[in-house]
Structure 1
Amino acid sequence: MTEIKKASFPKRAGMKFYSDPEIFSFSDAIYVCGHGHYDGVMGVFTREGYLIPQTAFYHKSPSILKGQPIWTDPVIARSYPVIETAIFAGHIHDQYGHFITEFISRLWAIKDIRKNEKLLVRCARGLDEVFTFRWAIELFNLLGLTKDDFICPDHPIRIRKLIVPAPAFAEHGYSYRRMAEYCHALGDRAMERLEGETLLKDRNIYISRSRLVCGTVKIDNERVLERYLKASGFEIIRPEQLSVYKQISSFRNNNIVVGPVGSAFHTSIFTSAPSGVALNMKSAVDSNYLMMDGVNEAYIDYIQSDDIVDAQVKDGNYYETKTIKNVEGFAKTIADIAEGKRRHFFIPNMGRFPISTPIDVKFYDVMSHDGSVIKLDPMTGYLSSCEDRRFIKLLLAIFHEGDRERAFFISGEDKLVGIIMHDSSASGLAVPVDLVENEAGRYSFFMPEDQRYLCALPASQGGWLSARATEILAWEKFDLAEKRAFSPKPGSETARLLSVMAGIWLRNKPFHLDFYLSQIPEVVSHIVDMKNKMEYLHGDDALTVRHAGTARENETALP
């Protein structure tokens, strides 16, 4: 086996924003095209000659301009040809990753603000050439854009009215949630293009670079790694041989994507809550990936290993050439990590932490005395084992933390459903409950908010009993059936709820609170209120599961 470490992160990992970028309008703006990639001339300027910050391209940390001047001569600009109106749409780059970060990042508002304006762009390679690249053609297709939508001047111009949507992403600087939302819509369109085709689903996928002829990093024995991974059930894909649509699909459909950190991982932004394992080959992970993960609810772990070392023979077509010392052990470890991501529940790391946080939580169906699965009537709050379409599934989730356990009823439906317990103040998206073991494998449920036991009978028949009502023991004894194969789908409403519960209830469990406050503030508020109420009533040891002894013995001990 190979020792795996958490990858090193940069000191500045960029900002994440959850409001929309702003849209600006400039009169008599000046556009200077320059002669190549950021040649110290190109830029978009105000009528006074100052570089417009929202049109500029930045990189590195702290941010610096990508070879652009901060001023151009407005006097000379008076002689430039004039067009009436345009929308600035950034740089159509000839490299896949930069195409996403420098061009697609600026299109988030086009659908809402564009009437018949041309999109003003910089394209150093020229539109004609870029429109010959297969991946670019496919992305333009998803964007619904053709060459006729653009203006790409080869000489300076002035624009009487220039509309500038601020970019939703800036290299090494920041990313907006809107970037992810816009790209998700593009990903959905990609899936429509693949309708009827056979796609990889529920698979572990390795993204290979072994047949590239040049690039940033090469693994000289990568094909050996592929053979071992394939023997472990991995599907090996080569992005350069696939359509963009299929590259996007690889991050969907409950797949886990593994591979060296590179442009292929930019494709994850087209999928909500992608899951993967990224192999870091550099001193630190590039913050661009981390910023995308931070707005995309990503479960992409960044790891590195001392088994990955500099190769003795360098390939001049790459900046770096690496080799894996123990390929078989490395492949086995990677396969184990991927399988672990499937078997267990994790709080997504979202680029804030190198790896996702595993949570020791188990899920159970609650079984009645006759072996039927208990469901909940959402209208009355009664538990029932009857088959009725309007009844909702009910799950018991038990979080384990050291020697403590906390149990909650949650909905077992695909979408969150509020739970109401009959004749009880206990209600919400998650309802705390205390388990009392009556006999081996059989339990009663004690509701700490009401100091009562839970039963499937109406109150008139003793279904709700005071904890002190020792003269009648009418609560029902339930069985628990563990759902071993159950794991909430990453990004699902249930996964979000459980992540918030774990982050707030359990100690020292890091999670991305800003993200959840922006996306599901009512869920965060509900869980915080529930925790405060339980700790007010019972202190920090609230909801310690499985009291020793029988229900009758515990009844006299409870307050």
Structure 2
Amino acid sequence: MNDYIKDCIKYDISGSVIEGFPEVFERRNVLYVPRREGGLDKDFGLFDETDRQILGNALFSSYPPVLKTQALTTQKNGEAASYQDRPVVYGGCIGDHYGHFITECLNTLWYFSRECSPETLVLFHSDMTVEEIFSRSWIIDLLRYAGVRKEQIIIPRVPLRFDSITIPGQAFSEDGFVYTGYAEYLKALSLKAVQESSFDFKGMVYLSRVSPLYNSRLPCNEEDLCAELSGRGVKVVRPEDLSVADQIKIFNENIVIGPIGSAFHASIFAGAPKGIAICPEGRPIARSYELMDAAHDAEIRYVYSEDKVDPSTLAEVLVNAAGSHAYWKTIIEKLGLGFLERKNRGNIFFVGHENILLSRDAKEAGDCDVLVATVGNKSFIFANHSSLPPFFIEKELSETRVISYLNFQEENGTGFQNPVNGKWLRAVPPELKGSLHCDAEHVNDWELFRIKPVDYPYFSGDLKILLEALAYLSDRGDVAGSLAIAPCLENALQRFESSDCQ
């Protein structure tokens, strides 16, 4: 990892990414209650025939507060809606905020765009009037890409009861969950948008937000940073000066760098966006960003700096990190590079003060992760540290910086076998506090390992050289050539020379 930028802590979003699109409900006797002007009440939203909030479409907290914090029930009555001769679909929440429009309107509007006829009316929850909405060029464009015309929009100012209304489930919920169909839908909209874009630069683009607010999120003055980036061939733009089409095209065709914010929500329109988002230190990023990235093939790295940095230094670091991403992604995929973990519970860490590999539930001071690289049926295990520190595995002959095994893919995990004596590597449960051993005649299912994929790496020093040597070995099968690149591989490769276990 570079000394100037560090990766933000990633959230566990397992179980929060759902395939396809959410369900759609045809509801009867639905009461829509708008929020009172000024936003002091909580008695607003969509209510069923028993006056209970329809929770699947409620927005309870966060920004903008004028549109959220809804109550669970209502005592209000509504007059009959006058649109009963035309189908009505709920379209989500419209607010005067670019990022939240993407996450809280388009997350519901997907159904209208995909399934509804031009005769269908769209009910929106909004603190804006239709005229105010159509005074914002970016909202006009996004609604147009979604197929919504001005005359189709319903924004009631009094409670209305609908005999029948279609209510799509949310395809994205802020900090909650995401359906893969959300990214699929927005990618389809982007195909319309990019046709209108006049942005023809391809390369690295920096999204500038020169203001006191965003300067506080950066480890240096942004005007100075922009000047340094421009001098290195990076195109500097201000998102608020661009059309929606241009913002979408930028993420489709460029590596994007910039302070984290709503501008990065446009990445969801791209099939495989790439970039680096600079985050403020000590302030966790919203889980929403990782959810959006997980719904498609995003490669966006979230980083922060612990200290103030010279703009020239930061510019150099960002350009190098952004440019090296594709290079390392290729190597990672080639080697199946990943972090070593026990199959059932416990990560494997290199424990620096003891020079051993140990199973723990959580990393402790002085620990670093353990990496596994695979070339054919051969696996190489080493510490995720630039100096490749030596370590010792019990029942192995000597301390080493890289150790090799034959790998065997089982249905429930991976086993590692010493190619010299046929013994198997095993890790005891974390509570036993024992280091890795290689002395098993066979391994039980619970003793198998798993390999967790590596995301957005930055490798340097001896570790970088080792990975490049293994990639060379994978490409060419040239043992002598790989040893010339990384002599530290010698003992690991010699273990296979007289092996009868292959």
TM range (shorter): 0.5 to 0.7
Match of 2:19 in 1: 18
CA contact (8 A) 1:405 1:545 kept: no
Q: Which amino acid in the other structure matches residue 54 of structure 2? A: I
Measure, in 2, the Cα distance between the counterparts of 1:35 and 1:11. Answer: 38
**1:345 Cα shift?**
2.4
Match of 1:261 in 2: 260
Residue 288 (structure 2) pairs with residue 288 (structure 1) = yes
**1:160 Cα shift?**
0.4
Residue 451 (structure 2) pairs with residue 508 (structure 1) = yes
SS of aligned partner of 2:107 = helix
Match of 1:334 among 291, 303, 318: 318
Q: Write the mapping of 1:488-507 to structure 2, written as runs, cut at 5 A.
A: none
SS of aligned partner of 2:195 = helix
Q: Which amino acid in the other structure matches residue 510 of structure 1? A: P
Q: What does the per-residue CA deviation read over 1:86-128, in whole Å, with 9 as the maximum and x for residues that have no partner? A: 2111111110011111111111121444232210111202121
Identical-pair percentage: 29
**1:17 Cα shift?**
0.7
Match of 1:130 in 2: 133
Q: Which amino acid in the other structure matches residue 29 of structure 1? A: V
Residue 12 (structure 2) pairs with residue 28 (structure 1) = no
Seen in structure 2, the aligned counterparts of structure 1 residues 273 and 81 have a Cα distance that, compared at 3 Å, is closer
Q: Which amino acid in the other structure matches residue 376 of structure 2? A: R
Residue 201 (structure 2) pairs with residue 200 (structure 1) = yes
Match of 2:327 in 1: 343
How many residues align? The count is 356
Please, what TM-score do these two structures have when normalized by structure 2?
A: 0.64
Seen in structure 2, the aligned counterparts of structure 1 residues 103 and 28 have a Cα distance that, compared at 3 Å, is same
**1:82 Cα shift?**
5.2
Q: What does the per-residue CA deviation read over 1:215-257, in whole Å, with 9 as the maximum and x for residues that have no partner? A: 795547101011111122211111011111111111112x110
Q: Which amino acid in the other structure matches residue 274 of structure 1? A: P
Residue 227 (structure 2) pairs with residue 243 (structure 1) = no
Q: Write the mapping of 1:142-541 to structure 2, written as runs, cut at 5 A.
A: 142-194=145-197, 197=198, 199-201=200-202, 203-210=203-210, 212=211, 217=216, 219=218, 221-253=221-253, 255-281=254-280, 283-307=283-307, 324-345=308-329, 405-406=375-376, 508-510=451-453
CA contact (8 A) 1:260 1:279 kept: yes
**1:30 Cα shift?**
0.5
5+ long unaligned stretches in structure 2: 338-370, 379-448, 456-473, 481-496
**1:13 Cα shift?**
8.1
**1:147 Cα shift?**
1.3
Q: What does the per-residue CA deviation read over 1:293-339, in whole Å, with 9 as the maximum and x for residues that have no partner? A: 010221001111112xxxxxxxxxxxxxxxx4322222111111011
Q: Which amino acid in the other structure matches residue 227 of structure 1? A: A
Q: What does the per-residue CA deviation read over 1:516-547, in whole Å, with 9 as the maximum and x for residues that have no partner? A: xxxxxxxxxxxxxxxxxxxxxxxxxx999457
Measure, in 1, the Cα distance between the counterparts of 2:173 and 2:181. Answer: 13
Q: What does the per-residue CA deviation read over 1:56-84, in whole Å, with 9 as the maximum and x for residues that have no partner? A: 11446xxxx9311111126x34x555542
CA contact (8 A) 1:259 1:278 kept: yes
Measure, in 2, the Cα distance between the counterparts of 1:216 and 1:150. Answer: 38
**1:25 Cα shift?**
1.3
Measure, in 2, the Cα distance between the counterparts of 1:222 and 1:204. Answer: 17
Seen in structure 2, the aligned counterparts of structure 1 residues 111 and 5 have a Cα distance that, compared at 3 Å, is closer
CA contact (8 A) 2:91 2:122 kept: yes
5+ long unaligned stretches in structure 1: 308-323, 348-356, 363-400, 409-505, 513-541, 549-553
**1:142 Cα shift?**
1.4
SS of aligned partner of 1:135 = helix
Seen in structure 2, the aligned counterparts of structure 1 residues 25 and 507 have a Cα distance that, compared at 3 Å, is closer
Residue 27 (structure 2) pairs with residue 43 (structure 1) = no
Seen in structure 2, the aligned counterparts of structure 1 residues 507 and 329 have a Cα distance that, compared at 3 Å, is farther
Q: Which amino acid in the other structure matches residue 189 of structure 2? A: L
Aligned-residue RMSD, C-alpha: 3.6
Measure, in 1, the Cα distance between the counterparts of 2:375 and 2:55. Answer: 52
Seen in structure 2, the aligned counterparts of structure 1 residues 358 and 59 have a Cα distance that, compared at 3 Å, is farther
SS of aligned partner of 1:193 = coil
Measure, in 1, the Cα distance between the counterparts of 2:182 and 2:373. Answer: 42
**1:41 Cα shift?**
2.1
SS of aligned partner of 2:376 = strand
Q: Which amino acid in the other structure matches residue 265 of structure 2? A: H
CA contact (8 A) 2:372 2:451 kept: no
Please, what TM-score do these two structures have when normalized by structure 1?
A: 0.57
Q: Which amino acid in the other structure matches residue 190 of structure 1? A: A
CA contact (8 A) 1:277 1:301 kept: yes
SS of aligned partner of 1:266 = helix
